[in-house]
Amino acid sequence: MDSFEWLKGYTVGYGLHYVNFKHSSRPRTPKRSAHLYFDIMRNNGFPLPTEEEMLYGHFPEGFIWSTATAAYQIEGAWRADGKGLSIWDKFAHTALKISQDENGDIACDSYNKIAEDINSLKTLRVNHYRFSISWPRIMPDGTTRKINEAGLNYYHRLVDALLAANIKPQVTLYHWDLPQALQDVGGWENDTIVERFRDYSDVVFNSLGDKVNNLRFYFCPGISFRPGTAPYIVAHNLIKAHAEAWHVYNDKYRAKHGGIVGITINSDWAEPRNPYKQEDVDAAVRVVQFQIGWFAHPVFNGDYSDLMKNIIRERSLAAGRPQSRLPEFTPAEVARIKGTHDYFGFNHYTTVLAYNMDYKNLEHYDADRGAGTVADRTWLDSGSFWLKVTPVGFRNILNFIKEEYGDPPIYITENGVSERESMNLNDVHRIHYYDNYINQALKAYLLDGIDIRGYAAWTLMDNLEWATGFDDKFGFFYVNRSDPSLPRIPKKSVWHYATIINCNGFISPGEIPHECQIHEPDSLLMLSEEKNTEHK
């Protein structure tokens, strides 16, 4: 219990029980630590909670195993063969915007290293590869005024090489790299972008659709802190653009090519900071609805959720505006948007703890959401400040998708973890992450009956992680940037992920050794040890 701590007197308390020294009876009140210590003694250690225990089993036959990349992050060749500028080309060449003033001019030079990337994919044993197409590489000003055949030919060479290696392509139409020429006329805030994106999608479908049967439009909500309506206008046009792309494929290409098209949405899971506090429970609901629900509700249900509409309307009117800052879909738009999905594409990395927060009269997304978020201090860190290792949240949000959106087929299109310290090929932290997150997906499939069709790990190789430059390393392969040839060097997680793929799930300890296990070649093991020694 708290007691007299020598020179500190009663000003510090080491006890498992709080002692109220101001009261004559000196009452003892157990602290949370007392309950924790009781549990440790009762359990004689630290057994895993049931929801965190490993499940041994397999995904369905034909399960899609993939890894993902994005054009700006890996391609380089930023001005090669007629490519136009993207918004990220401009942003990365603006001083102090990217960590250490890095940029994607060369990145991983994947534009010139198709063979090396294919070899990396074959080492991983993936049967699919998710990559994105650079809009300005094939349409330099973002319009059909000029189609850059050299840019299209690059993607044809990549797709042909994938198919020759028996790896099926999964194409992302848009992954943040908007043509700068379109941004100059308002970008996603200008509703003409809907037609521009439809035309761009048509060009890709027409050129690559006979070789690719899995396409998606990716938008990860990069929330703007600009006040007013801008974030909602951007999202409104994104949703309409997605719907138009889906209809172009459905009307012109589906019968001939037989592919599937959908949207990919990124979202955290949220738990209440205090589960016994109703306002924190409500805040967690808002965090999820304002992220995943913002885009999924219109696509799957036809309109924004009532929760979003009511909150934003009430706050807009209270601020003296004549109408809501959240735009409305017309009845024709609702009909056009609803059902524009062949599956639910989903990116997920972490969980947050939500609590109610009053932003007073501020008019922006976070204020409308009315929630703050923190992390539990017991959650494992990663190389990214925002990413805490919380596997159970993955299963929770997969169940949310099933219940909220009518049990759609789900493709996990991104999931992964970063490291930031000196390069270490023995990336046990990444192995731990994938073991536990993929196992939660397996539980969602086997125990919860969720229709999970595929899983793509982020990412194939260390690359330009947007504003953090090359500091955050998500890759299975280390890219040695001090070598002009930019070699791809496998980390230990490569063999671990390859084993999960080859076993199509998790084999029990009693089945080890097993013929499905993939082992690291001895020559690479020696290389790994040498590299780790160099960086100590």
What's the CA gap between 439 and 415, in Å, rounded? Answer: 12
Question: What H or E segment, with its residue span, contains residue 265?
Answer: strand 260-266
User: Would you say 94 and 481 are in contact if contact means Cβ atoms under 8 Å apart?
Assistant: no
The amino acid sitting at 235 is: A
User: Would you say 368 and 321 are in contact if contact means Cβ atoms under 8 Å apart?
Assistant: no
Quick count: other Cβ atoms within 10 Å of Cβ 289? 23
Active site residues: 414
What's the CA gap between 10 and 440, in Å, rounded? Answer: 47
Of 234, 125, 96, nearest in space to 176 by CA: 234
User: Would you say 458 and 66 are in contact if contact means Cβ atoms under 8 Å apart?
Assistant: no
Question: What H or E segment, with its residue span, contains residue 292?
Answer: helix 292-296
Structure-token pair, residue 44: 């004689």
User: Would you say 508 and 456 are in contact if contact means Cβ atoms under 8 Å apart?
Assistant: no
**Rounded to an integer, what is the distance from CA 497 to the centroid of its chain?**
18
Of 126, 2, 38, nearest in space to 477 by CA: 126
